[in-house]
């Protein structure tokens, strides 16, 4: 729009027949116009930098949340069992540690909601053929669900545990942030999840109607059995690459 107006203004300038005393005024106006354009360009550059910085900070904040969550959930806690140490001192004992983690019912509910949304997609309420902003967001969320399903089983579990189902949908998270986090989660190291995670995922197959008849969820359950319980090795995937559901 602005370019079109400037082109028309340029054509009008070619037909101007001002008085001699008006030339200096026109030159002054053109100088002001140049200054305004320069200021607008500078404002755009600054806004772009600010937006990029804010977006990067948002990505880093989300990723820090992932790492903090995993450190907390996968932290080891002493078990009640004590094993004598191989020393002659009769009173010396050593305490075993097991990755019991700190998952609670809220985390498992987050996992449940995510699995249902990821494998069944957002529910459509509008009649076929109608389209509005809400439907557009749901379509974008549906595309994100399909992309998440292409993650390896381990990465999908990470995503399902860490982010609530209202955090990563189109309404709440921009595409750049979503894409960056998806890449980070997929390239992250494989972890040994507490057994309750696998138990919960298997129960969902029987308890959730939308997952009960979902072949893709069946494939995911098979894939999660192949996840290596090793928190120190880089993420590796079963032969053939990712689980392309």
State whether the Cα torsion 142-143-147-149 is positive or negative: positive
Of 36, 18, 38, which Cα lies nearest the Cα of 26? 18
Q: Could you tell me which residues are beta bridge partners of residue 84?
A: 93
| The pLDDT of residue 92 is above 50 | no
Residue 99, pLDDT > 70, answer no
- Average pLDDT of span 70-99: 45
User: 218-243 pLDDT, tens per residue?
Assistant: 999 988 765 534 333 444 444 444 44
Spatial distance between the Cα atoms of 80 and 223, rounded to a whole number of angstroms: 33
This prediction has a pTM of 0.62
More confident residue, 181 or 123: 181
Q: How confident is the model at residue 78 (pLDDT cuts 50, 70, 90)?
A: very low
Chain centre distance of CA 179: 6
Mean model confidence pLDDT for the chain: 76
Q: Measured between alpha carbons, how far is 97 from 118 in angstroms, rounded to an integer?
A: 34
**How far is the C-alpha of 175 from the C-alpha of 180, rounded, in Å?**
9
Please identify which residue in the block is written with the tokens 């109607």. Answer: 209
The H or E element that residue 59 is part of is helix 23-73
Higher local confidence (pLDDT), 134 or 181: 181
Q: How many CB atoms lie within 10 A of CB 236?
A: 13
- The pLDDT assigned to 75 comes to 64
Distance (Å, whole) CA 155 – CA 187: 8
């Amino acid at each position: 729009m602005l370019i079109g107006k400037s082109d028309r203004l340029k054509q009008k300038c070619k037909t101007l027949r001002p008085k001699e005393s008006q030339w200096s005024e026109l030159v002054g106006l053109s100088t002001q116009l140049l200054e305004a354009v320069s200021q607008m360009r500078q404002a755009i550059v600054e806004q772009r930098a600010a937006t990029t910085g804010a977006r990067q900070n948002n990505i880093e904040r989300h990723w820090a949340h992932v790492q903090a969550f995993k450190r907390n959930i996968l932290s080891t806690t002493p078990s009640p069992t004590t094993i004598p140490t191989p020393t002659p001192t009769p009173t010396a004992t050593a305490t075993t540690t097991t990755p019991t983690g700190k998952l609670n019912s809220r985390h498992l509910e987050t996992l449940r909601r995510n699995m249902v949304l990821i494998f069944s997609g957002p529910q459509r309420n509008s009649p076929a053929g109608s389209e509005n902003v809400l439907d557009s967001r749901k379509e974008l969320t549906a595309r994100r669900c399909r992309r998440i399903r292409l993650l390896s089983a381990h990465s999908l579990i990470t995503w399902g545990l860490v982010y609530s189902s209202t955090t990563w949908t189109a309404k709440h998270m921009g595409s750049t942030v979503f894409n960056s986090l998806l890449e980070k989660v997929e390239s992250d190291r494989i972890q040994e999840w507490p057994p309750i995670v696998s138990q919960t995922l298997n129960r969902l197959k029987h308890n959730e109607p939308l997952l009960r008849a979902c072949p893709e969820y069946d494939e995911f359950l098979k894939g999660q059995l192949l996840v290596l319980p090793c928190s120190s090795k880089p993420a590796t995937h079963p032969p053939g690459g990712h689980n392309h559901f």
